[in-house]
Structure 1
Amino acid sequence: MRNRDWLFKRTQEVTAAGVSTPSQEVTSRIIHSLREFYPLKEILATLSFPKSTYHYWQQQFERPNPDEKLEQAILNLRHFHKDFGYRRLMPLLKKLGYNIGKTKLQRLIRKLDIRVTSFSKKSGKYSSYRGTVGKVAPNRINRRLDRRLHWHW
């Protein structure tokens, strides 16, 4: 292909969305959008992307989402319980009649981008400092206790 500006424009669109390296799904969508301007064979050769993978993803795009009702139920639950992770959502979903496994629920939460951010392990480091505790003794022997004098420490 003579003009490769389209490739840079499309990758800028993907990186602007927060993705450092596009997945096969995103790459297939980019290729599909470029098919009206360039032949498929040239696009696949330029990107060194397998033709079978491209056609696989085209079939996946046309397929309806089997978990659409489940995803909607998860979003409804998260609307009322914003700080519930997968462990607290599991029993609520079972009450609604959805019997799914832990990993599938985690995968759907990741896909819907509704991870809980309020409970972070790195929210703060432990510090035992409690300020000035106790009584400071009077300086009876007139020592120079000013920290600025001991600059070499």
Structure 2
Amino acid sequence: MDDLLALIGLKRSTYYYLEAHPLNTASDNKIADVIRQIKSPQFQTEYGYRRVTTLLHDQGYLVNHKRVLRIMRQNALLSTTYNTRKRRYNSYRGTVGRIAERVI
């Protein structure tokens, strides 16, 4: 056993940890299906992982935002419009403050 682990470059403790804690892909697939429903065309399609996490919490799923981000990355469900600039930068805020009266 140790020879095999040394051959593939895996530590013994890592092997036993992975054996005791199998990957939970079934629940990830279930959450991915729910995320696809949330991002379906009838709803808002440009939801990011933060808003999706909030909606999952509202539906009763207790998932971490990091897990939602990982699942969305694996299934190519991340929003793409956030990074594209739709308008040029404009710092004009209108009339700010109070204009003093002319007393002279």
Deviations 1:43-97 (A, max 9, x none): 4223432122123224444756445433321122123343110233244334433
Q: Tell me which protein shows more helix as a share of its residues.
A: 1
Aligned to 1:69: 30
Alignment of 1:46-57 (within 5 A): 46-57=7-18
Greater radius of gyration (CA): 1
Q: What are the equivalent positions in structure 2 for 1:74-153 lying under 5 Å apart?
A: 74-80=35-41, 81-120=44-83
Distance 1:42 1:79, change over 3 A: farther
2:15 aligned partner, one-letter code: Y
- Kindly report the root-mean-square deviation, in angstroms, between the aligned alpha carbons of the 2 structures: 3.7
3-state SS of 2:56 partner:
helix
2:9 maps to a residue whose letter is: S
Q: Distance in 2 between matches of 1:59 and 1:46?
A: 21
Q: How many residues align?
A: 86
Q: Distance in 2 between matches of 1:63 and 1:92?
A: 22
Fraction of identical pairs, as percent:
24
Cα distance in 2 for partners of 1:52, 1:99 equals 29
Q: 1:72 to 1:57 in 2, by over 3 A?
A: same
> 1:97 is matched by which residue type in structure 2?
G
Task: Give the Cα–Cα distance (whole angstroms) in 2 for the partners of residues 45 and 54 of structure 1.
Answer: 11
Q: Taking structure 1 as reference, are residues 57 and 100 closer, same or farther at Cα in structure 2, changes over 3 Å only?
A: closer
Which structure 2 residue ranges, 5 or more long, are not aligned? Answer: 89-104
Q: Which residue number corresponds to residue 146 of structure 1?
A: none
